[in-house]
Structure 1
Amino acid sequence: MNTSKNLSLLVLLLFMGAGQAQRQVIVDADTGNEVDDPYALVRILLEPSVEVTALNAAHWQTSHWTKPKSMENSHRLNQQLLGELGMGVRTLRGAPARMYDWGDRAQHSAAAYEIVKQAREKEEVTILALGALTNVASAVFIAPEIAKKLKIYWLGTTMDFETKMLKRNDFNPLMDPYALDLLLDSQVDFYIMPINVAVDMEIAYADLAKAIDTHPLGKFLLKRWDDHIDGSREKRILWDLALVAAYIDPELAKIQTIKTSPDSGNRDIHFFEHIDAKHIYQDFYRTLLAFERK
């Protein structure tokens, strides 16, 4: 028996197995708010290299066009989407509104405690946050010691890459300003997709329909556009798909690490400075059209 040869083969097999291991993520989505969330969720849920360990519902209660119980609407749509996909991912209710103004500021929800639980069990927890940061920040408020274990990918803010000026006056930050401040001041590993970068994801309804209307799942996603409060729009930006695609395939984006100003954490934050929108859409179409429900 060639012990050395057998040992080398075992090491190779172990290495190959490790290389094929799925990345685990928690996804936190305000699915009922905009059209883009279901597209992003479809892409991440159909990605074979990723295991979504929990799908949390986020609110958008602060918005002037919100619906009553916005988080519950997101939770319902998360379950509906999983039904369309025939998948059994855990869905958890998040905060019904933004964090509180004083005292125990956390919104105590199943979503927040799921983040705490996983962070206490693992060396690192990755979270893709597509809306308000309430669930994530509440988890850190409840258990501050988990912050250093969290790697958060989030869409929001505007970054001027020349002046290094961070603006927080867009939709997602305004849904819970305190949650963003808490995380900027924490030890979380923060990856931010600014909206002035994700804006490259603008697409015409006609072009999207031409690409996916022949697939049952594509028809489901297009109906979300049709049924939205402003469903008559001819063009739209699928913001969240940019963040999910950049996480799945880092080659589709470029990152710049910037030390933020004292009022924005005064620390290194990773900002996506460019995305390849054309190839993100091509990748999305390939993934969706290859899907067959079992």
Structure 2
Amino acid sequence: MPTFKSLPVDELVRKLEHPGRKVRMVLDTDTFNEIDDQFAVVYALLSSERIELEAFYAAPFYNQMSSSPGDGMEKSYHELLKIRALMQREELPVLRGSTSYLPGSVEPVDSEAVQDLIRRAMDTDPSDPLYVVAIGAITNVASALLLAPEIIHRIVIVWLGGHAFHWPRTDEFNLKQDVHAARIIFDSTAPVVLIPCMGVASHLKTTLSEVREYVKDSGAIGSYLYETYASCRADHFGYSRVIWDLSVIAWLLQPEACPSYLTPSPLISDDLRFIHDPNRHPIRYVSYLDRDRVFQDLFRKLAGKKE
């Protein structure tokens, strides 16, 4: 583990407050992994009143949708290109991320995304941090921290990872793919806003009928999101699906819909449980999400894209 020069506690606490203004942001996403990343990417692109989106980073993932973490990253890269074209935002950089998870606690996996993140962070005034929003395995961000520990003074990390602190275990997909990376994030003393999956982001459910009513007719991107949702399951009778990744964008846009508090940064046990040590530095922990307010905001913004 590199030596991180910790932020003074008052500076850390200040950076963990909601910014309350428009922020510069990069989005790190395993976009091809599931259907929720696509919604989050579009939500961010539709929210220019509060988000100045500077770049997309493709994150690695490995499940039934990929043959390896590197293949997952490559598929996510191409999915980002597709969404960027549908949204007519070809000027935004899309960068390939790490092709594997971290092999250990001190070994980064370098990539063009990692180098771009370091460059953008180093060009950032510490008083106006770059928001690094991550909705997959946090390999790219952890690799950047390992290669350039000083960037902790210039960024705020907003991550969807793990489960709620009251959940029995935290063997959640984003976290368990790269536990080394998750530990680096929590140990680095960087400002971290954590949004858990089960128990918090799990409130963000919608249905095919709702997506048909409020998304389908919203231009080319609405049609794409609808078809993506419709094809995720053969039988949608009585079925709702969590669109987890909207949560991180929602926190930046509507903090009142995402109540949170400061708490000591957790440790992660070998059997994937959060361990709480009151002497650790603080992070911000989102404890609830107002499902209706989040989807109302997304649907209203998509309505502006109607043909």
SS at 1:199 equivalent: helix
Counterparts of 1:20-169 in structure 2, within 5 Å, are: 22-49=22-49, 50-61=51-62, 63=63, 66-68=66-68, 69-87=71-89, 88-101=91-104, 105-122=107-124, 123=126, 124-160=129-165, 167-169=169-171
SS at 2:288 equivalent: strand
Amino acid at match of 1:177: V
Q: CA 1:292 to 1:92, structure 2 compared with 1: closer, same or farther past 3 Å? A: farther
SS at 2:100 equivalent: coil
Amino acid at match of 2:287: E
Q: Please name the residue that 1:200 is paired with.
A: 203
Q: Give the Å deviation of 1:276.
A: 1.0
Amino acid at match of 1:135: N
Normalised by the size of structure 2, how large is the TM-score?
0.81
CA distance in 1, matches of 2:285, 2:183: 16
Alpha-carbon contact 2:164-2:170 (below 8 Å) kept: no
Please, which moves more after superposition, 75-84 or 123-132?
123-132
Query: Which one of the candidate residues 187, 212, 215 is aligned to 2:215?
Result: 212
Amino acid at match of 2:136: G
Query: Which one of the candidate residues 294, 297, 303 is aligned to 1:280?
Result: 294
CA distance in 2, matches of 1:151, 1:115: 12
Q: CA 1:275 to 1:137, structure 2 compared with 1: closer, same or farther past 3 Å? A: same
Amino acid at match of 1:76: H
CA distance in 2, matches of 1:105, 1:287: 41
The structure with the largest helix share of the pair is 1
Q: Please name the residue that 1:15 is paired with.
A: none
Normalised by the size of structure 1, how large is the TM-score?
0.85
CA distance in 1, matches of 2:234, 2:158: 28
Q: Give the Å deviation of 1:66.
A: 3.1
Q: Give the Å deviation of 1:150.
A: 1.9
Amino acid at match of 2:189: Q
Q: CA 1:261 to 1:242, structure 2 compared with 1: closer, same or farther past 3 Å? A: closer
State whether structure 2 residue 281 is matched by structure 1 residue 267: yes
List runs of 5+ in structure 1 lacking aligned partners: 1-18
CA distance in 1, matches of 2:267, 2:203: 29
Alpha-carbon contact 1:190-1:270 (below 8 Å) kept: yes
Structure of larger gyration radius: 1
Q: Give the Å deviation of 1:274.
A: 1.2
Q: Please name the residue that 1:221 is paired with.
A: 225
Alpha-carbon contact 1:148-1:187 (below 8 Å) kept: no
List runs of 5+ in structure 2 lacking aligned partners: 1-18, 269-274
CA RMSD across the alignment: 2.3
Q: Give the Å deviation of 1:168.
A: 2.8
Q: Give the Å deviation of 1:21.
A: 7.7
Please, which moves more after superposition, 85-94 or 250-259?
250-259
CA distance in 2, matches of 1:231, 1:127: 35
Q: Give the Å deviation of 1:86.
A: 0.4
Please, which moves more after superposition, 245-254 or 137-146?
245-254
Q: Give the Å deviation of 1:261.
A: 4.7
Q: Give the Å deviation of 1:262.
A: 5.3
- Determine what percentage of the aligned residue pairs are the same residue: 24
Superimposed CA distance per residue, residues 136-168 of structure 1 (whole angstroms, 9 cap, x where no aligned partner)? 00000111111232201111112235xxx7843
Q: Please name the residue that 1:171 is paired with.
A: 173
